[in-house]
Chains A and B, each alone.
Chain A
Amino acid sequence: MAWRNLGRNRLRTALAALGIVIGVVAICSLGMATVALEQQATAQLGDLTNEVTVSSGADSDTDGVTGEQVEEMRAIVTDARVIPQKTNATTLEARNGMEARMSVTGVTDASALYDLTEGEAPERLQSGALISNATADRLGLESGDPVEYDGRIYRIRGFIESEHSFGFGGGDLVIPVSGLADQRHYDTVTIIAADGDAAGRIGDRLDTRFNTEEDEELRVTTFGNRAQVGGFLDTLSLALLGIGGISLVVASVAILNVMLMSTVERRGEIGVLRAVGIRRGEVLRMILTEATLLGALGGLVGALVSLATGMVLFHVITGDATGALGWASSRYLAYGFGFAVAASVLSGVYPAWKAANESPVEALRG
């Protein structure tokens, strides 16, 4: 019955459904776009945002972070790794005579800082060296080749993924910290926390421990970006969802209008229904069923279109179309569909109520 009523004025039904489809597509694809952006942003920043970097502060007496300070940090930060590093610069000469200027990092806990493309970063770097891919390529160095720093020879034990090093000052050449023994203090201390929030908390703790308002002993840097980036994405997704929401309101008004039109148009018919003994509740249900069908129809088409749109968005933003199928983004399809049905039912309530409660005589009079 409800189906047939919808079928009667196909054009109007189609237009109303189109309104819903647009609304659903708007909210779904905007929602999915934010998910894609978020995933992409976290993928790119994820490695950095959980790190805290500590270096000597503006008011420090020592030129670097002292061993005692490192020990104190270790005492405060028990749930994350504290990795002190000494850095310098040097010039390496290749066998073919080529020279390259590069940073040197002395670190023991190399495996925590560097991902290697070849070989394995030792838990404790006691001997040997790691060198960045790019530098090794440039100088034609291979595994086992010797490099010299400060009069000592180190054999190359692994190659560092080059792009990975951009978070630190160095990483071109990594040697045991003992190799930079003539530098008394550490230049930087990297603390690797579980995630960005933990890193933020650690940063705050260190800051309150070592620094006061006037006196900065240590410079504590966290990639507050995580929070900032997250905040930005939240704002963005709110804005996008807001736009989606507006289009949904427009869609609802369209449904309301269609349902009102169709009940006004069928006033006489509804009067007949009431005259022949159809109960008010039954008239109400009939019209609500129509509205629900309309919403479900529009919602379904909308969800399908949105899925396609979402896959295109994911493909463009993250390069992986199947990401759209993940719950984080596909739940927007469920939201969109749910909204379409809910909005249609809500928009149907007033016309349905109005139609059901009209006096049959008035309705029959036309």
Chain B
Amino acid sequence: MSVVELRGVGKRYESGAEIIDALKGVDFSAERGEMVTITGPSGSGKSTMLNLIGLLDEPTEGTVSLRGRNVTDFGEDERTEERRSALGFVFQDFHLLPMLTAVENVELPSMWDTSVDRHDRAVDLLRRVGLGDRLTHTPDELSGGQKQRVAIARSLVNEPEVLLADEPTGNLDQDTGGTILDEITRLKNEEDLAVIAITHDEQLVEYADRVVRLVDGVTRT
């Protein structure tokens, strides 16, 4: 059973008179333990597809399933719960909260949750990405690569099954990008994650178990 599954998914944006079919009948699935990269030209619908998998957006057509459950018609609150428990996000520009320390940023997804204490898990994750000595630094005291590692630790704090990354190395230089991808690959194996990463970058393709190419909202494998 695939942890992520898209069936005939379409996404149409209607802004005024303009109608854009960002995705057209996309079928896609991913298993735990594999890294899939999505490539394709700019505007081909990569981010749109990742947002649909990440339950940040709703498809206009087709079905989205997570962990074997059809989540297409979930309401906003159910989507939030699903994001919290099953999904981790890494963004191109890190999106750390500037007033929180590294460890607090990692704890952020569970900060309001009184039922669990993720502090130990947060510290452990930061150690595993090599930031054991940067726990109490704030984002402006960290380099780009370090910030992205904090973001990766944050995405994993709630023990998700799927890690979604939209151009995680897009703001980093070649070498730093490489180490980040090493990190993601290692964590993928340790935590048995399905990693779905978007990239323009041929470098990232080397790390992938599988590459999906999107052109004009259609998948080409």
Contacts and interface: CB of A to CB of B under 8 A. Distances in A.
A164 B191 CA distance: 93
A282 B112 contact: yes
Contacts of B95: 268-269, 271-272, 364
A282 B109 CA distance: 11
Interface string A21-48: 0000000000000000000000000000
Interface in A247-271: 268-269, 271
A9 to B, nearest CB: 10
A269 B85 contact: no
Contact of A276 (B77, B99, B154): B154
A4 B99 CA distance: 6
A273 interface: yes
Contacts of B99: 4-5, 7-8
Interface of B is mostly: mixed
A100 interface: no
Interface residues of B, number: 27
Contacts of B81: 277, 279
Nearest to A286: B112
Contacts of A8: 98-99
B80 A277 contact: yes
Given A1-B111, A282-B112, A364-B91, A276 B97 contact: no
B121 interface: no
A69 B80 CA distance: 88
A275 interface: yes
B199 to A, nearest CB: 18
Contacts of B44: none
Max count, chain B CB within 10 A of own CB: residue among A5, A269, A279, A360: A360
B39 interface: no
A5 B155 CA distance: 22
B98 A279 contact: no
Interface string B85-115: 1011101000101111000000011011000
A278 B54 contact: no
A360 B91 CA distance: 13
Nearest to B99: A4
Interface string B126-163: 00000000000000000000000000001100100000
Q: Which 3 A-B pairs have the closest CB atoms?
A: A277-B84, A4-B99, A276-B109
6 contacts: A269-B97, A277-B85, A279-B80, A279-B112, A280-B80, A364-B95
Interface of B: 51, 54, 56-57, 76-77, 80-81, 83-85, 87-89, 91, 95, 97-100, 108-109, 111-112, 154-155, 158
